[in-house]
């Protein structure tokens, strides 16, 4: 049976314990500053006792509850609603959210562990949890005022899915070319436009959405708004039929005179460009975690299969050529994991991590694609059919080079930071 895990070390808020699993076991876990300091000087992949317990719990959930649903969700292109509820019940949707707002009060690194472990089994659920934690919750925690945090963070931790709406048809890598407009009407804004490629679009009820409130000022007119699904003039449009991460909904959003109260401006008017950039810097580490999870899943499958597959009287894993390929895959995965973990630890330590986050996303997305592709080859013909898991890992890996900043944009960020231009 699954264990529910409560990331809070104490429940002094008076809200009572998080929901219990059928097994009735609630594990307590948090990443305090003391624990972070205890890790100083240790290898990056060495986890604290709390982190080990948390990772084991997420892995148990992924293997016991998620794995049996993966194939069906991929085929249908839809997350199982029961699984979404479990993610909330188990505390996975508010990992870094402070306890006073109903969350776990844990660390960014802990959220990264969750994304990695989930993506090892299904990258669709990995990104579902990732967007909630590294983009939406982080945006509220960093830029929300007290009233906004009090209103929305408890909902996001307990029952409502969030989405981050930045991209448009003509505004991808050139994010500040957005055409969605916000017109000041005194006590509210009217938003008009269309967003594309929005992860969690079908499931979300709370959107961090960007629009330009002063086009004459260029990107300095861009403003972040909190938009609820029930607001008049807001609707969810087409769901994309994708190559990979198929169970994760990717949709368009349509705004036609969408009325948004003034109190739903997130941060300052005209400072949305800053909100988007800084939030995405953190989100890229989350995508890195998704990619190393995919790579781990593919490598684990390849090692197991090559031990079972017999050719010329012995398992193909006994051939040196296969051993060398496995060794290459494992080495590349370890390098990617070190980069992702390092960027996450830097974020928690309050150290500038922008370059490291870009490098981690760039390298891990390439590693995931290469490792999953090799896994298909090691499976031979079986690797090319849906009866076996590795073709899905490859399909899921491809998005890593595209969303939350393409690989070319990561290269540009790294270069600018290196040469100072």
Question: Distance between CA atoms of 217 and 212, rounded to whole angstroms?
Answer: 9
Question: Distance between CA atoms of 324 and 317, rounded to whole angstroms?
Answer: 10
Question: Distance between CA atoms of 87 and 140, rounded to whole angstroms?
Answer: 20
Pick the closest to residue 175 from 281, 251, 93 (CA basis).
Answer: 281
**Burial of 318: CB neighbours in 10 Å, binned 0-12, 13-18, 19+:** middle
Pick the closest to residue 285 from 120, 54, 137, 131 (CA basis).
Answer: 131
Question: Distance between CA atoms of 400 and 119, rounded to whole angstroms?
Answer: 12
The active-site residue out of 99, 369, 391, 404 is 404
**Helices in 18-158 by DSSP H: which ranges?**
33-38, 49-61, 70-76, 81-89, 108-119, 123-130, 138-143, 146-158
User: Which pair of tokens denotes residue 396?
Assistant: 């899921």
Q: What are phi and psi of 229, to 5 degrees?
A: -60, -30
User: Three-state SS for 164?
Assistant: strand
CB 90 within 8 A of CB 142: no
Residue labelled with tokens 């314990």: 17
20-57 burial string, b = 16+ CB within 10 Å, else e? ebeeeebbbbbbeeebeeebeeeeeeebbebbebbbeb
CB 293 within 8 A of CB 120: yes
Cβ-based neighbour number of residue 214 at 10 Å: 15
Pick the closest to residue 119 from 417, 411, 399, 421 (CA basis).
Answer: 399
CB 201 within 8 A of CB 163: yes
Indicate if 308 belongs to the active site.
no
User: Which pair of tokens denotes residue 214?
Assistant: 């002063």
Q: Nearest-5° angle of CA 305, CA 309, CA 313? A: 150
Catalytic residues: 404
């Amino acid at each position: 049976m699954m264990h529910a895990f409560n990331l809070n070390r104490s429940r002094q808020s008076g809200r009572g314990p998080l929901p219990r699993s059928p097994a009735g076991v609630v594990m307590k876990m948090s990443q305090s500053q003391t624990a972070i300091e205890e890790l100083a000087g240790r290898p990056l992949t060495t986890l604290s006792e709390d982190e080990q317990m948390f990772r084991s719990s997420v892995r148990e959930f992924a293997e016991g509850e998620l794995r049996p649903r993966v194939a069906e969700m991929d085929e249908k292109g839809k997350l199982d609603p029961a699984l979404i509820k479990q993610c909330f019940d188990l505390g996975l949707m508010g990992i870094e959210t402070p306890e006073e707002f109903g969350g776990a009060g844990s660390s960014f690194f802990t959220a990264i562990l969750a994304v990695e472990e989930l993506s090892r089994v299904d990258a669709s659920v990995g990104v579902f949890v990732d967007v909630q934690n590294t983009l939406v919750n982080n945006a509220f925690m960093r830029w929300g005022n007290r009233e906004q945090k009090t209103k929305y963070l408890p909902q996001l931790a307990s029952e409502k899915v969030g989405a981050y709406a930045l991209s448009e048809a003509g505004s991808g890598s050139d994010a500040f070319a957005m055409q969605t407009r916000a017109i000041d009407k005194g006590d509210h804004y009217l938003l008009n436009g269309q967003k594309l490629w929005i992860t969690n679009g079908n499931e979300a009820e709370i959107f961090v959405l960007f629009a330009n409130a002063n086009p004459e000022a260029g990107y300095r007119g861009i403003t972040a708004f909190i938009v609820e699904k029930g607001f008049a003039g807001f609707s969810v449009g087409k769901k994309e039929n994708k190559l990979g991460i198929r169970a994760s909904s990717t949709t368009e959003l349509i705004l036609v005179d969408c009325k948004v109260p003034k109190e739903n401006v997130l941060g300052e008017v005209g400072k949305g460009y800053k909100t988007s950039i800084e939030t995405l810097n953190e989100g890229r580490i989350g995508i890195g975690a998704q990619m190393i999870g995919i790579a781990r899943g593919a490598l684990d499958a390849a090692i197991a299969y090559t031990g079972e597959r017999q050719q010329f009287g012995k398992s193909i894993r006994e051939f040196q050529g296969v051993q060398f390929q496995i060794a290459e895959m494992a080495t590349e995965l370890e390098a990617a994991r070190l980069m992702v973990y390092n960027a996450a630890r830097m974020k928690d330590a309050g150290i500038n991590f922008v370059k490291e986050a870009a490098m981690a996303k760039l390298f891990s997305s390439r590693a995931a694609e290469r490792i999953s592709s090799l896994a298909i080859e090691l499976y031979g013909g079986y690797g090319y059919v849906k009866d076996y898991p590795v073709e899905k890992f490859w399909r899921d890996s491809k998005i890593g080079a595209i969303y939350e900043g393409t690989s070319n944009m990561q290269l540009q960020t790294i270069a600018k930071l290196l040469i100072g231009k």
